[in-house]
Amino acid sequence: MSDLYTIKDFLNNEIILLKKSSGASHVPVHSHEFIEMLYVCGGEAVHSYKGKSIKLQKNNYVFIDYNVPHCLSKKSDDFIIINCLFVPEFIDNSLKRYHTFSDVLRNYLIGILPEAEDSGHIFYDESGTIEKELTLMLDEFKDKNPGYAQIIRSGLIRIIVTAMRSTDALKRQKDFRIQKMIERAETDFAKKGLLKELSSELGYSQSALSLLFKNAFGITYTKYIQETRIRISSRMLAQTDLPVDEIADASGYTDVRSYRKHFKRIMGITPLKYRISVREH
């Protein structure tokens, strides 16, 4: 049984918290109602997560999802960390119902799910740019000058995109055919027969392109387009007052009932209830 760290207890009703500490104090196995980014500024420790124990050293950083028990142990005397605790809606209000680092990547920033890692999303800050970014964010959080939240938000997005660039998913994405498929899904997601059109443009059969995409990301291109439509429509629901039927049409659905069905299957909630939930304070 692990302790549950709540937003109310740890974020003081804010949606992001930054702090730097020696990490010397003992913290029991725990989970939390937010995403935690942990950056190692010095020393080393063992991070236990999802049944695995991985050594974290200087310049390692890791993202820990909601409700997943974890802990640090065997800390060296010079162990220093920066913690960034945040809920996804800090980045964008349309992410209010998402609870994992992968959700943020897939549904807001790049639309592609990186390979799952049972030991957590662990990255290495080879150039030191992530630590510099976090240090600036820490200063903004402490001073709380006008616009500090926007500066911290932009810094967090830069950190997440930098982390994403090191994943195998992005390396696979460099294939020109996959690049084209992703680009067209983002711009022409509402278009019918997109795969057929890409087949003609790229000179590959539809089945060959489908297989290429599925081998790279584990989902079919058709499913990816459906998820892209729902992802983009969720932002319209959160950020505009357009009626649901107009959003359905703009998202490529000629039948609003079909849109509601797909939205609920992917999001676990109807479009109208989603709109209400992300606007609650």
Q: What is the pLDDT of residues 28-45, one digit of tens each?
A: 899 999 999 999 999 999
Number of H helices, E strands in the chain: 12, 10
- Taking only the tens place, the pLDDT of each residue in 221-248 is 998 899 889 988 988 998 899 999 999 9
* 41: three-class secondary structure by DSSP: strand
- Per-residue pLDDT at 136: 96
Contact in structure between 83 and 19 (CB atoms under 8 Å): yes
Asked if residue 268 lies in contact with residue 97, where contact means CB atoms within 8 angstroms, the answer is yes
- Predicted confidence at residue 116, as pLDDT, reads 45
Q: What percent of the chain has pLDDT over 90?
A: 49
Q: What is d(CA 12, CA 6) in angstroms, rounded to the nearest whole number?
A: 9
Asked if the domains at 3-168 and 175-278 fall in one CATH topology, the answer is no
* CATH superfamily, domain at 3-168: Regulatory protein AraC (2.60.120.280)
Q: Write the pLDDT tens digit of every residue in 155-168.
A: 999 998 888 776 65
Distance CA 281, CA 103 (A): 22
Looking at every residue in the chain, the average pLDDT score rounds to 86
Q: Are 41 and 131 in contact (CB under 8 A)?
A: yes
**In this model, does residue 171 exceed pLDDT 70?**
no
Closest CA to 158 of 37, 42, 33, 20: 37
Q: Is the pLDDT of residue 112 over 90?
A: no
Q: CA-CA distance, 158 to 149, in Å (whole number)?
A: 14
Residues 6 or more apart whose CB falls under 8 angstroms from that of 93 comprise 238, 239, 278, 279
**What is the C-alpha to C-alpha distance for residues 102 and 118, in angstroms, rounded to an integer?**
13
Range with lowest mean pLDDT among 161-165, 177-181, 256-260? 161-165
**Residue-level pLDDT at 117:** 47
Question: Has residue 199 got a pLDDT over 90?
Answer: yes
Domain range annotation of the chain? 3-168, 175-278
**CA atoms lying within 13 Å on the CB side of residue 264:** 10
Of 103, 115, 111, residue with least CA distance to 224: 111
* pLDDT tier at 154, thresholds 50, 70, 90: very high
Nearest by Cα to 62 from 172, 166, 173, 170? 166
- 245: Cβ contacts below 8 Å, ≥ 6 apart: 256
Per-residue pLDDT of 123-140, as tens digits, reads 889 899 999 999 999 999
Q: How far apart are CA 263 and CA 252, in angstroms?
A: 13
What token pair was written down for 1? 């049984």
Segment 4-13 mean pLDDT: 76
Question: Is the pLDDT confidence value at 178 over 90?
Answer: no
User: Residue 260: which region, alpha, beta or left (left: phi > 0; alpha: psi -120 to 50)?
Assistant: alpha
User: Which of the two residues, 51 and 244, has the higher pLDDT score?
Assistant: 244
Half-sphere exposure of 68 (CA within 13 A, CB side): 20
- Reply yes or no on whether the pLDDT at 115 is more than 60: no
pLDDT for residue 273 is more than 80: yes
Percent of the chain with pLDDT over 70: 89
The SS3 of residue 86 is strand
**CATH-assigned architecture of domain 175-278:** Orthogonal Bundle (1.10)
Strand, helix or coil for residue 81: strand
Given its phi and psi angles, is residue 109 left (phi above 0), alpha (psi -120 to 50 degrees) or beta?
alpha
Q: Residue 261 pLDDT more than 90?
A: yes
pLDDT the model gives residue 172:
60
